[in-house]
Amino acid sequence: MRHFVLVHGACHGAWCWYKVIAELKQAGHKVTALDLTACGIDRRQVEDVHGSVVEYSEPLLTFMASLPAAGSDDEKVILVGHSMAGFSLCMAMERFPEKISVAAFLAAGMLGPDLTLQMVDKKFVEMSPTADTMDSQVIYGDGPDKPPTGFLVGPKHMETHLYRCSPRQDLELGITLVRPCPIWDEEEAARDTVLTNDKYGTVARVYVVCDEEKDGAFQWWLIENNPPDEHVVIPGSDHMVMFSQPRLLSEYLLQLAAKYI
């Protein structure tokens, strides 16, 4: 039995993994799906993050710290991060490399020792069609005269850019459950996401490309500029691969469980 740790993307929560959780548990594995700070059913609000990527990622970092030191390879967890959770995964890999057998980035931001957060953010804005926010909202939780504290994806943006191949039921579920995601302080986030070859670089990485994702070119740019140990393309998958192709995604994750031990 392996232990999967699933981490959601921006504005979503642990709830978005419900199909994958069922598949992995049915195969006999342990699954932990986390809500990051102010996401899902976490009681905190986006203003409580204070623009800090560390505060946002605290549930994952605290969970990883709570795990016992791996006595054998099969006690290490398989980290799975979607979209913006890639940055949280990178931080966990830098802090707890000895507890992770492999990290899977699903259409996710994948930093590296030579690929910084600033570089990735800049390229995303240049290349990404989903940078067009459409009906998404910027949240000014501290007042209109203060810097924004978060953003919330809008229904049209979700339907057009994120859930374009997913079942309508899952789109409606997402529209009902999304919450504002924090906007980080760029300088602080840059300091907090510094990665090293000695720690982050010792953890196996895989990248999952969603072939119907509108940000497809950006995913390939990440792979080219920070090559993982392997990558795979999930056919027929939009950005929300856990909704559009849950069976194929789960099958690939099970392959990782057998390979990276």
- By annotation, the residues acting in catalysis are 83, 211, 239
Ramachandran angles phi, psi of 2, nearest 5°: -110, 165
Question: Three-state SS for 131?
Answer: helix
- Torsion angle of alpha carbons 206, 211, 214, 217, nearest 10°? 60
Q: DSSP letter string over 1-31?
A: --EEEEE--TT--GGGGHHHHHHHHHTT-EE
Burial class of 104 by CB neighbour count within 10 A (0 to 12, 13 to 18, 19+)? buried
- Alpha-carbon distance of 188 to 27, in angstroms, equals 41
Question: Three-state SS for 105?
Answer: strand
Burial class of 176 by CB neighbour count within 10 A (0 to 12, 13 to 18, 19+)? exposed
Residues making up the chain, counted from first to last: 261
- Alpha-carbon distance of 105 to 239, in angstroms, equals 12
- Characterize the bridge pairing of strands 150-152 and 204-210: unpaired
- Alpha-carbon distance of 261 to 245, in angstroms, equals 25
